[in-house]
Amino acid sequence: MADSIEVTRRWASPLATLALSIPILILVSRRTGKKWQNFPPFSLLTLLSGAWFMIVSETVSEPYLVWQKFSHDEIFHIPQAQRYCEGKFLEWDDKITTPPGLYLFSILLQKTAAAVKLPWVFSCDTSSLRITNVLGLIVLASLTLLCRHEIESRLYEAHSSARLKAISKYAVHTAFNIALFPLLFFFSGLYYTDVISTAVVVGGYLNHLKRVGRDRSSFVSDLITVLLGTLALLMRQTNVFWIVVWMGGLEAVHALKTMRPQHAEQPFMTTLTDQVKFYAWRYSVGDIHDPPLNLAWPDDMLFTAISLAIAALCNPIRVIRQIWPYISVLAAFASFVAWNGGVVLGDKSNHVATIHLAQLLYIWPFFAFFSLPLLLPHVIPILDIARNVLRSLSQSGQRAGSSQPSKTSRSFEFSRFVKSKRPEGSKARDTRSTASQVALETPSHGSPSPALRTADFIFNSKFIPWIIYTLLTFVVSTAIVKFNTIIHPFTLADNRHYMFYIFRYTIRRGSLIRFMLIIPYTISRWMVWGTLAGCADWILSSNRELCSARYNVNEPAPYTSYPLWIAWGTKKTQTNVEYPQDVSQMPRNSASTDGELRGTVEDDPLLVSAEPTSTSTGLIFLLATTLSLMTAPLVEPRYFILPWVMWRLLVPAWRVHDHAHINSLFEGVAPRSIVGKTREVFKRYDVRLVLETLWFVAINVATGYIFLMKPYVWKDEQGRNLEDGRLQRFMW
């Protein structure tokens, strides 16, 4: 009888979670064009997370990781949550440094179970508390799905009068993969703060995405923003950077973009001073420079930041009106820090804020490893170049007696990838290599000053800004490695974490290894940033107009205001594209519009998902990531979860035929062959998502197996058991 009761209690929480997840899945499914499109993957996610929870609870039934130095583990969280369940809100374990937000969610589940007369479903034991994160993972997947849909809607509706209603398959699969992200999935079976904290921040991000769909937010929306921001701070203190800097920064940019000044014709100016004054004026009235990230070069990023700074300084009231909820959250956080005497609760001695810039180097290999399948587009051009080189060399002997070059030799044009001048598309200018030179030498325009000639030469070049950027980042990386490599005692003291072994076999091998690691840091950064940019300039070189993205060399984006564009000839404006309008003021789609949009999406399902984000969004992401990591002396993979989730939400879809014109990997493939049919499928579906799912499953299986099936006992030098012979387990 007792055994049957125990079995019933053991299954009660998973079954209750499954029951609670069904309404969530139905609610989210109603937002899709095909209402049950996302039900199968989310149901599978529920089963997978429930199975992981059951296996962990069966194998590791007691709170895990017993060691007094680690205040973020179950041995501290579970007893504290149980005190809260008993109503002992004034009792606090000083070893815990994070706020009690996680416990409040557990209390909510406990009270809900009691309210429906099923208190045995959630009894605040170890198993019941862990189920909080299983439910949190399902909620997180639902929120990421809605966030990705809102991102696609904002980008699509910026250049279309049709409102995007149906959730794309890309958004569904992206949300599923985010939930499978190894760090999130692993900790969904334990009682840690990461899953719920991430879900709360993503919920705040969803609220932000809805706010930027209209010019002015309502007072109710402002209050909701304050409440969500405060709730995020109750989960983890570092969430302040993602609420205030990330979302607040994006809304500040949104406030500036709603100014929508008239496009002004630019006179031809012969001095650099006149050019600077003209664009300073244009920036002050809201004509900012913020191109899509796939069209941005390093100097675009610099001028985007400058234009935003000038516009914000000249229009402070407009900005403050939009971001005052985030200012309120920041003020609340500052008040807490002043009252608490520091950022962390409890034990402050082992959690002293330190400038740790090396975190900004470590994050890129972290992204590259976990998102390895997403880097596929960067491999194809390299494979194509290598393939054509080898083919050209192998056929050189056959062409020795012939003066006619082969098709292969003609197709291999290395100059497509290496050009002396930048394309017009990145700045929406006339052909820069010839037209600018002619214009500068045209007497009717006057004689440009030496300063203007110099600036025109530098910024017309494709390689000079890149060389400066590369050298600068290399020098900064070298300085960080030399002067700011910090190895926290906790990293060296606990061999149960993978980071112990990563440091042991890389950074601790010697100074030479540390400096050599700058190369993979740099390559990883380029590839991760390029993945965020989507169909980018440096990949497609002279054929950028064939990218999936809406704006390209022939049609510049509406926020194109490059300060070194010179108005020669008859063209007096960089772009005449209309600014995006307030979505709330857009008329509802007619039946014909809905039908046309459905037809377009059915013909090309990835079309609405391939739009890259803006340059300002990328810059604010870098700023928020920097601030959230640079004060943490301990290198902890879990600190990278939120940066990765936000980055992953912004990654646009990739289509195989975006690269078809620059590679010959499919040359000669019959359309009816298996390879040909596979290519056609991947024209309509992002193959990277499938590979990403398989990659995450492989990592989760491997790390889960090691955690559950490879325990060991700590021993001293004499071979005696430590920690009373408790089993230790490998984990993130």
- What pLDDT is recorded for position 425? 37
Q: Would 328 be classed as within a structural domain?
A: yes
- Across 71-80, 219-228, 509-518, least confident range: 71-80
pLDDT tens digit sequence for 265-292: 888 888 899 999 999 999 999 999 999 9
CB 202 within 8 A of CB 140: yes
**What would the mean pLDDT of 680-690 be, rounded to a whole number?**
86
Is pLDDT larger for residue 631 or for residue 666?
631
Has residue 166 got a pLDDT over 90? no
Is pLDDT larger for residue 432 or for residue 537?
537
Per-residue confidence band for 516, with pLDDT thresholds at 50, 70 and 90:
very high
- What pLDDT is recorded for position 363? 96
Distance CA 407, CA 401 (A): 16
Is pLDDT larger for residue 248 or for residue 714?
248
CB 240 within 8 A of CB 344: no
CB 14 within 8 A of CB 51: no
Strand-pairing partners, residue 614, are 292
Cα angle value 211/216/221 (rounded, 5°)? 50
Distance CA 412, CA 425 (A): 23
Is pLDDT larger for residue 438 or for residue 476?
476
Has residue 489 got a pLDDT over 70? yes
Does residue 262 sit in helix, strand or coil?
Answer: coil
Q: Would 692 be classed as within a structural domain?
A: no
Nearest CA to 467 out of 291, 299, 295 is that of 299
**What would the mean pLDDT of 321-328 be, rounded to a whole number?**
97
Q: Would 670 be classed as within a structural domain?
A: no
- What pLDDT is recorded for position 341? 83
Per-residue confidence band for 187, with pLDDT thresholds at 50, 70 and 90:
very high
- What pLDDT is recorded for position 466? 87
- What pLDDT is recorded for position 600? 72
Range of the domain at 545: 197-384+449-577+603-651
Per-residue confidence band for 170, with pLDDT thresholds at 50, 70 and 90:
very high
**What would the mean pLDDT of 555-578 be, rounded to a whole number?**
80
The one-letter amino acid code at 140 reads L
Distance CA 246, CA 248 (A): 6
In this structure, the dihedral spanned by the alpha carbons of residues 459, 462, 463 and 466, taken in order and rounded to 10 degrees, is 70
- What pLDDT is recorded for position 725? 75
Per-residue confidence band for 552, with pLDDT thresholds at 50, 70 and 90:
low
Is pLDDT larger for residue 387 or for residue 48?
48
Distance CA 344, CA 367 (A): 27
Per-residue confidence band for 439, with pLDDT thresholds at 50, 70 and 90:
very low
pLDDT tens digit sequence for 356-368: 999 999 999 999 9
Residues 6+ away with beta carbon under 8 Å from 415: none
Task: List, as one string, the DSSP characters of 205-258.
Answer: HHHHHHHTTSSS--HHHHHHHHHHHHHHHHH-TTHHIIIIIIIHHHHHHHHHHT
- What pLDDT is recorded for position 38? 67
**What would the mean pLDDT of 569-595 be, rounded to a whole number?**
68
| HEC per residue, 410-476 | HHCCHHHCCCCECCHHHCCCCCCCCHHHHHHCCHHHCCCCHHHHHHHHHHHECHHHHHHHHHHHHHH
Has residue 400 got a pLDDT over 60? no
Q: Would 365 be classed as within a structural domain?
A: yes
Distance CA 503, CA 517 (A): 12
Does residue 341 sit in helix, strand or coil?
Answer: coil
Number of structural domains found in the chain: 1
pLDDT tens digit sequence for 623-661: 999 999 998 888 999 999 999 999 999 999 988 766 654
- What pLDDT is recorded for position 17? 62
Q: What share of the chain is helix, strand, coil (3-state, %, to 5)?
A: 65, 0, 35
Read off the tokens for 292: 């899509």
**What would the mean pLDDT of 556-585 be, rounded to a whole number?**
77
Nearest CA to 174 out of 616, 654, 547, 715 is that of 654
- What pLDDT is recorded for position 672? 76
User: Of all residues in the chain, what percent carry a pLDDT higher than 70?
Assistant: 77
CB atoms within 10 A of CB 161: 10
Distance CA 244, CA 404 (A): 64
Has residue 232 got a pLDDT over 90? yes
- Across 70-79, 572-581, 596-605, least confident range: 596-605
Per-residue confidence band for 344, with pLDDT thresholds at 50, 70 and 90:
confident
Has residue 567 got a pLDDT over 90? no
Q: Would 132 be classed as within a structural domain?
A: no
Distance CA 662, CA 536 (A): 13
Residues 6+ away with beta carbon under 8 Å from 570: none
**What would the mean pLDDT of 549-566 be, rounded to a whole number?**
79
CB atoms within 10 A of CB 651: 23
| CA distances, 69 to each of 29, 94, 488, 490 (Å) | 44, 12, 13, 8
CB 180 within 8 A of CB 645: no
Length of the chain as a residue count: 732
Per-residue confidence band for 105, with pLDDT thresholds at 50, 70 and 90:
very high
Residue in the block written with tokens 């650099």: 272
Which of the 8 DSSP states describes residue 403? S
CB atoms within 10 A of CB 370: 20
Q: Would 707 be classed as within a structural domain?
A: no
| CA distances, 141 to each of 43, 45, 357, 703 (Å) | 11, 9, 31, 21
**What would the mean pLDDT of 188-200 be, rounded to a whole number?**
95
Has residue 417 got a pLDDT over 50? no
User: Of all residues in the chain, what percent carry a pLDDT higher than 90?
Assistant: 44
Per-residue confidence band for 480, with pLDDT thresholds at 50, 70 and 90:
very high
pLDDT tens digit sequence for 54-93: 999 899 888 886 554 444 578 889 999 999 998 889 888 8
- What pLDDT is recorded for position 679? 73
- Across 39-53, 112-126, 163-177, least confident range: 112-126
- What pLDDT is recorded for position 438? 44
**What would the mean pLDDT of 566-578 be, rounded to a whole number?**
75
Q: Would 618 be classed as within a structural domain?
A: yes
**What would the mean pLDDT of 332-352 be, rounded to a whole number?**
82
Per-residue confidence band for 149, with pLDDT thresholds at 50, 70 and 90:
very high
- What pLDDT is recorded for position 328? 97
Q: Tell me the pLDDT of the chain averaged across its residues.
A: 82
User: Which of 111-120, 397-406, 589-598 shows the highest mean pLDDT?
Assistant: 111-120
Q: Would 702 be classed as within a structural domain?
A: no
Is pLDDT larger for residue 13 or for residue 171?
171
Per-residue confidence band for 618, with pLDDT thresholds at 50, 70 and 90:
very high
The one-letter amino acid code at 349 reads S
- The continuous run of DSSP H or E covering 499 comes out as helix 498-505
The one-letter amino acid code at 605 reads P
Has residue 375 got a pLDDT over 80? yes
Has residue 590 got a pLDDT over 50? yes
Is pLDDT larger for residue 158 or for residue 305?
305
Nearest CA to 730 out of 53, 57, 60, 47 is that of 60
